[in-house]
Amino acid sequence: MYAEGKAVCIGSDIDTDLIIAGRYLRTKDRSLWAEHVFEDLDPALRKRLNGAVIVAGKNMGCGSSREQAVIALKEAGVKAVIAPSFARIFFRNAINIGLPVLEAEVACDEGMIVQFDIDAGWVESHGVRFAIRPLSPRMRSILHAGGLVPYWRARQ
Amino acid sequence: MGTLSERILGGSAGDFVDRKVDRAYVHDGTGVLTLMALREMGAHVVTPARFHVIFDHIVPANTSLTADLQSELRTFAQEQGMCFSDVGNGICHQLMGEGEVLPGEVVAGADSHTCTLGAFGAFATGMGATDLAGIWASGATWFRVPETIAIRLHGELTGAAEPKDVALQYVSLLGMEGATYRAIEFIGTGAATIPMHGRLTLCNMAVESGAKTGMFFADAVTTAYLRGFGKFADMQETEPCTYEREISIDLGAVRPLVAVPPRVDTVKNAAALAGTAIDQVFVGTCTNGRFEDLARFAHIVKGKQVKVRTIVVPASRTVLERLEREGHLGTIIRSGCVIGPAGCGPCLGAHMGVIGKGEVCLSTANRNFSNRMGVGGAIYLSSVATAAVSALNGEITEPEADDVR
Ligand code: SF4
């Protein structure tokens, strides 16, 4: 699974409340979450997310189990999220909705091109290649299917 | 031989295993997405009697939209014959802890604080809505068997210190991501001295250090508590096992603590923050809304008046009824507090008790992220005793042993 995108750098310990605030959760309208993504962190971020690769600091996505956080990122056009460590529910949620999450230590430069290949297990920027912590075969299959829903449908 | 997680999940740390889920639950916030995912999967609910749908987050509904979403989920749960709990019955983690979850069970909840139930010696962990839909559809899911960090407790709590202070202490020791992907086991002679409600508080905050779950071994305290709900369970024996890391806490040395916004791992002595102005006090939540918590609160405020607006929300109807029966409810009302319906209350900043820009809330909850209880508001976290004496003084105050006696 090769892809690339422009880096958007964000800090460490970005919690799910900062990704999508609790006040926007009560709806089924996925575009609303994308519209308000990162609103309490930096409202200007949203415009840069289409086609972007988010490069975050440690403990990305900590806090609540709200799946709206990963959906908001995906709906906003984010191609992947890279961080040295993720909160585990966020990580699982991302895979379940088909948003690639890569555990790797990457120095972030706003706007740099980030390339990655999940199956091959690397991410590259400025010509430097970093190893990503491998996913389990199950997680890879779910990601390949585009998330747990299509994965499930395909196996019926 | 192994850690509790290894024994319950049946594998060694690092293994990926498929496991039957004994009990799974969603709430009004995550259940709607779970239902959407289930429909998109084209699947149906396999064992409805093992699945709970509990309305606690925005209860009763605040807007027509919320009401419509709740109505759809309520109808679905009832039609399917799932265990449904409507508004006002209480917080999902509390209800699952009132005789539902038993030692050794595998429990999945669509809420990060599902780790609370590890207090019974169950493997209980939070997941997202789509994961829960997969569980509704198959009755099982995959787990990575976690490495375990042991927190060895010695001695006994003294003075005005509570299990909540121990929770703040271990979260600050580990840091917000110190236990990511790991389980925490509370062990040692001090563990036996912590009553069930305190164990629930300690396990509740495990996720604040990133942990998958926090666990106590089921012992005489656990089995006696469960017998109160008509449930019989076996105790769990400790076995030799490998912990990734061990930290130790002397309960006798724990003082009242406060987490400073916006990080739960920035913890100071309540004494060091004495005099900090507050606009609101909130007592309740899945961390500290149990009977013993609110009875302690009532004891402290009895015959006095709170100086700032104070919202008290019982964690469940059972808690509320017992408070009423034992006279504490009247005490709390007469001291000038607002009583909210059993549930999450203002904890997630969506409903009843949201704070305004620049306002400061002292809360007994587990999270103090920026804007959580309202845009531009700040949250300090403390024990019930600290919240009670602070409410009486209108500013952060350290509780003394005399206050709680
Ligand atoms: S009380 Fe707060 S932390 Fe607990 S389940 Fe409700 S919203 Fe979550």
Residues B35 and B138 placed together within one structural domain of the fold:
yes
* B366 close to ligand 1 (CB < 6 Angstrom): yes
Nearest-atom index, ligand 1, CA of B367: 3
Q: What pLDDT band is residue A23 in, cutting at 50, 70 and 90?
A: confident
Residues B54 and B133 placed together within one structural domain of the fold:
yes
Cβ contacts of B371 on chain A, cutoff 8 Å:
17-18, 21, 40
CATH number at residue B217: 3.40.1060.10
Looking up tokens 């290894």 gives B6
> Residue A150 has what pLDDT?
96
Q: What pLDDT band is residue A125 in, cutting at 50, 70 and 90?
A: very high
Arithmetic mean of pLDDT over chain A? 93
Answer yes or no: do B128 and A93 touch at CB < 8 A. yes
Beta strand pairing status for B360-363 and B378-382? parallel
The whole-number average pLDDT for the span B58-71 is: 95
Q: Is B85 helix (H, G, I), strand (E, B) or coil?
A: strand
Enumerate residues 6+ apart whose C-beta is below 8 A from A28.
B32, B36, B69
> Residue A57 has what pLDDT?
96
| CA distance to partner chain A, nearest, from residue B119 (Å) | 20
Nearest-atom index, ligand 1, CA of B56: 6
Measured distance CA(B191)–CA(B254) in Å, rounded = 14
Answer yes or no: do A153 and B42 touch at CB < 8 A. yes
Q: What pLDDT band is residue B9 in, cutting at 50, 70 and 90?
A: very high
Residues B268 and B246 placed together within one structural domain of the fold:
no
**Mutation to test the B interface, candidates A64, A86, A90, most B Cβ within 10 Å:** A64
> Residue B67 has what pLDDT?
96
Expressed as residue numbers, the domain containing B21 is: 7-144
Residues B176 and B88 placed together within one structural domain of the fold:
no
Looking up tokens 């460490």 gives A12
Residues B266 and B395 placed together within one structural domain of the fold:
yes
Answer yes or no: do A136 and B369 touch at CB < 8 A. no
| CA distance to partner chain A, nearest, from residue B224 (Å) | 32
Share of chain B above pLDDT 70, in %: 100
> Residue B175 has what pLDDT?
96
**Mutation to test the A interface, candidates B18, B369, B379, most A Cβ within 10 Å:** B369
Q: Of B193, B220, B253, which residue constitutes the final position of a domain?
A: B253
Measured distance CA(B55)–CA(B77) in Å, rounded = 11
Q: Of B201, B235, B253, which residue constitutes the final position of a domain?
A: B253
> Residue B33 has what pLDDT?
93
Is residue B384 assigned to a domain?
yes
Write out the H or E segment, with its range, that includes residue B184.
strand B183-187
Residues B264 and B223 placed together within one structural domain of the fold:
no
> Residue A30 has what pLDDT?
86
* B112 close to ligand 1 (CB < 6 Angstrom): no
The whole-number average pLDDT for the span A87-113 is: 95
Per the structure, how many domains does chain B have? 3
CATH number at residue B103: 3.30.499.10
Residues B389 and B314 placed together within one structural domain of the fold:
yes
Residues B46 and B172 placed together within one structural domain of the fold:
no
Predicted ipTM of the assembly = 0.91
Residue whose C-alpha is closest to residue B23's, from B86, B97, B129, B90? B97
| CA distance to partner chain B, nearest, from residue A74 (Å) | 15
Q: What is the pLDDT of residues B103-148, one digit of tens each?
A: 999 999 999 999 999 999 999 999 999 999 999 999 999 999 999 9
**Mutation to test the B interface, candidates A89, A142, A151, most B Cβ within 10 Å:** A89
- Judge whether B210 is closer than 8 Å to chain A, CB to CB: yes
Cβ contacts of A28 on chain B, cutoff 8 Å:
32, 36, 69
Is residue B234 assigned to a domain?
yes
The whole-number average pLDDT for the span B255-265 is: 97
Q: What is the pLDDT of residues B273-319, one digit of tens each?
A: 999 999 999 999 999 999 999 999 999 999 999 999 999 999 999 99
Measured distance CA(B122)–CA(B102) in Å, rounded = 6
> Residue A1 has what pLDDT?
82
Which is it for the CA torsion B343, B347, B349, B355, positive or negative? Answer: positive
Answer yes or no: do A148 and B130 touch at CB < 8 A. yes
Measured distance CA(B306)–CA(B128) in Å, rounded = 39
By CA distance, what is B110's nearest residue in A?
Answer: A65
- Judge whether B42 is closer than 8 Å to chain A, CB to CB: yes
Arithmetic mean of pLDDT over chain B? 97
The whole-number average pLDDT for the span B215-244 is: 96
> Residue B249 has what pLDDT?
98
Q: What is the pLDDT of residues B18-55, one digit of tens each?
A: 999 999 999 999 999 999 999 999 999 999 999 999 99
The answer to whether the beta carbons of residues B181 and B207 sit under 8 Å apart is no
* B382 close to ligand 1 (CB < 6 Angstrom): no
* Structural domain boundaries in chain A: 2-155
Q: Which tokens in the block code for residue B63?
A: 């807007």
DSSP B327-380: THHHHHHHTTPEEPPSS-GGGGSSSSS---TT-EEEESSS---TTTTSTT-EEE
> Residue A82 has what pLDDT?
97
> Residue A155 has what pLDDT?
83
Q: What pLDDT band is residue A83 in, cutting at 50, 70 and 90?
A: very high
Q: Of B127, B144, B161, which residue constitutes the final position of a domain?
A: B144
- Judge whether B351 is closer than 8 Å to chain A, CB to CB: no
Is residue B1 assigned to a domain?
no
Q: Is B148 helix (H, G, I), strand (E, B) or coil?
A: strand
Q: What pLDDT band is residue B370 in, cutting at 50, 70 and 90?
A: confident
- Judge whether B370 is closer than 8 Å to chain A, CB to CB: yes
CATH 3.30.930.10 fits A2-155, yes or no: no
Residues B246 and B355 placed together within one structural domain of the fold:
no
> Residue A27 has what pLDDT?
82
The whole-number average pLDDT for the span A50-65 is: 94
Helix axis angle for A148-155 and A137-145, nearest 10°, is 90
- Judge whether B27 is closer than 8 Å to chain A, CB to CB: no
The whole-number average pLDDT for the span A118-124 is: 93
Share of chain A above pLDDT 70, in %: 100
- Closest in A15, A58, A88 to B181, CB measured: A88
> Residue A26 has what pLDDT?
80
- For the cut 80, the answer to whether the pLDDT of residue B220 exceeds it is yes
- For the cut 80, the answer to whether the pLDDT of residue B405 exceeds it is no
Q: Which tokens in the block code for residue A151?
A: 């994965």
> Residue A22 has what pLDDT?
85
